[in-house]
Structure 1
Amino acid sequence: MVVGELKNQHIHMGDKMLQKLTWTINNFSKWDSDELCSENFYVGGHPWRIAIYPKGHNTGYLSIYLSGDLPNFDAWSRFANFKLALINQLNAKKTITAGSQYKFSESEPDYGWPEFIPLVEFRNFRSGFIVNDTCIVEAEITVVKPEHVTQADQVVSKPVVCSEPVVQVTNINPLGDLVDFKSFGKIEKVFVPLLEEVCKLHPSLIDCQQKRSRRFTEWAFTALGQILHFLKSRKVKDMNADACSHLQLLWEELQTFNFDLTWLQPHIQSALSMKNYIEKAVQLKAMKENLATLEMETKSLKEKIFTAEVDLEIARRDLAKGLEERDLDADLAYGGP
């Protein structure tokens, strides 16, 4: 799916051409697609495009690729030096950049990183990679003419796919000091007691991460720690729509790390159900208040009825006494003969 706005700048460097591009994807959460592509751009007279996999390309990571596309040419090939960067919009020093040299061809038209950045980090609203629902990717590409590709270049034209970009990423906006957790990585200190407790009860949490990279396990246990801290620090009354949405996002992110979470799922479902409980509790409270009002009105009406019944009884007694009959046509007396 082609989305976003692409801005580019061409820079001639002798017999090479460097192109700098900025791909801005607005309303990022709206695009429900496994693959998002930039529009085509031209370097060296040939079309290229950038592609990302916002749900991961069969991994728990954001995947990002550069693709050459010459469908009308047989046996085409182009050698390119390129860098791809996921821009951190809150802290430029935490922008993630990866670079490579690669010979693109008809049989191998794209190259990139299937594990560019963990999805839990990418989607974290505090991380700075998606701000105001906008994601920004930058690229620098140099296409080299075939006659200028050296033997050394050919050797590195197909490097091993790197599971992590060449950049050091530190934890974003931690809740406190970072400490090492069982050699799996630096985790927020506040998470560690919670993690130790559940790992003691569920050893598979440790076992399933033994063969993972340190970067992967660091974010895996951070994601688990975030969930545990959320459940520990929230009360039933806190589970409004925003809190439930946040918990749902944390839960979806945690599931990408292949933990056995059958023990945790009932607690998550219970916490998410609190929104409906709170709504019903609010309705019940309103009904009770309405009932109290009706009872007060009923009491007032009963008092009015009682008063009216008393007045009615008095009126009946007065009516029962009757009046002395007189001739209404008789003269009024004044005491004379």
Structure 2
Amino acid sequence: MHADAKEAVKYFDQMRIEHGFAELLSVEEFNDPGNGYLVNDCCVFGAEVFVIQPSTGSEETLTMVKDLDDSTYTWSIKDFSNLNEDDQYSDAFTVGGREWKLNLCLKGYKSGKDKYLSLFIWLQDCEKLVPKEKVYAKYKLRILDHSQVKTIEKTDSKWFDTKEGWGFHNLIPLKELSNGYLGKDTLTVEVEFDVISVIKVRT
């Protein structure tokens, strides 16, 4: 009896160490002397195996999360007018199983220097990424208007694989901050994640 059933190639690895047939032959057929499977209370089993050498290339797996719990993080910076350091950092927060941090440049950065407020997001735990692993995020960065009328919002998407911030150099002109964005000398910024995905490469 041959039981190949025109099967597709089966792959063996650390997670899949065996393959076979759950219903190879009925007990009645096996015990029927006329079929010749059982002779003198003895049966011979065999397997014909063709081995295909594994590819030497890489295998990528993508995990994507769209319905994120606690996808929004809000950061309120108090005593804004008395801050001395140009670079301000939020506490670390977790979204999509990853740690993130916001970075606010009070006097702008690069093209926004001395003219705009700049806001960036960092993957805080990037040192935990394995080689060739990277994280994709689609997100919105906001500066909230305390009157809830003129909220500034910009959307971006980036791949994160190093400790480098991504965001906007020219988020809002510095001269406009006094127009409703500094209620009680407090600036409130926010990030909302739409999608987070992770690519892992196995060689």
Name the residue aligned to 2:92. Answer: 40
Cα gap change, 1:73 to 1:29, in 2 (>3 Å):
same
Task: Find out whether 1:21 has 2:73 as its counterpart.
Answer: yes
Unaligned 5+ runs, structure 2: 1-63
Name the residue aligned to 1:80. Answer: 137
Higher relative contact order (CA 8 A, sep 6+): 2
Instruction: Say if 1:16 and 1:143, in contact at 8 Å, map to a contact too.
Output: no
- Trace 1:94-173 onto structure 2 (pairs within 5 A): 94-106=150-162, 109-122=164-177, 124=178, 127-141=179-193, 142-146=195-199
Percent identity of the aligned residues? 28
What do the CA deviations read for 1:89-119 (whole angstroms, capped 9, x no partner)?
12x221000011111111x632100111111
Name the residue aligned to 2:102. Answer: 50
User: TM-score under structure 2 normalisation?
Assistant: 0.58
Counterpart of 1:17, as a letter, is L
- Trace 1:306-325 onto structure 2 (pairs within 5 A): none
Q: How many residues are aligned here?
A: 130
User: In 2, distance between residues paired with 1:74 and 1:55?
Assistant: 35
Aligned-pair RMSD on alpha carbons?
2.1
What do the CA deviations read for 1:185-231 (whole angstroms, capped 9, x no partner)?
xxxxxxxxxxxxxxxxxxxxxxxxxxxxxxxxxxxxxxxxxxxxxxx
- Trace 1:234-273 onto structure 2 (pairs within 5 A): none
- Trace 1:2-17 onto structure 2 (pairs within 5 A): 16-17=67-68
Instruction: Say if 2:66 and 2:196, in contact at 8 Å, map to a contact too.
Output: no
SS of corresponding position for 1:132: helix
Moved over 6 A (4+): none
Name the residue aligned to 1:31. Answer: 83
User: TM-score under structure 1 normalisation?
Assistant: 0.36
By how many angstroms is 1:72 displaced? 4.0
Instruction: Say if 1:38 and 1:51, in contact at 8 Å, map to a contact too.
Output: yes
User: In 2, distance between residues paired with 1:96 and 1:89?
Assistant: 11
Counterpart of 2:108, as a letter, is G
* Bigger proportion of residues as strand: 2
Instruction: Say if 1:16 and 1:145, in contact at 8 Å, map to a contact too.
Output: no
Name the residue aligned to 1:212. Answer: none
Instruction: Say if 1:36 and 1:52, in contact at 8 Å, map to a contact too.
Output: yes
User: In 2, distance between residues paired with 1:15 and 1:24?
Assistant: 26
By how many angstroms is 1:145 displaced? 3.6
SS of corresponding position for 1:71: helix
SS of corresponding position for 1:120: helix
Counterpart of 2:158, as a letter, is Y
Unaligned 5+ runs, structure 1: 1-12, 148-337
Name the residue aligned to 2:40. Answer: none
SS of corresponding position for 1:29: helix
Counterpart of 1:101, as a letter, is S
By how many angstroms is 1:16 displaced? 4.4
Instruction: Say if 1:78 and 1:105, in contact at 8 Å, map to a contact too.
Output: yes
User: In 2, distance between residues paired with 1:102 and 1:16?
Assistant: 18
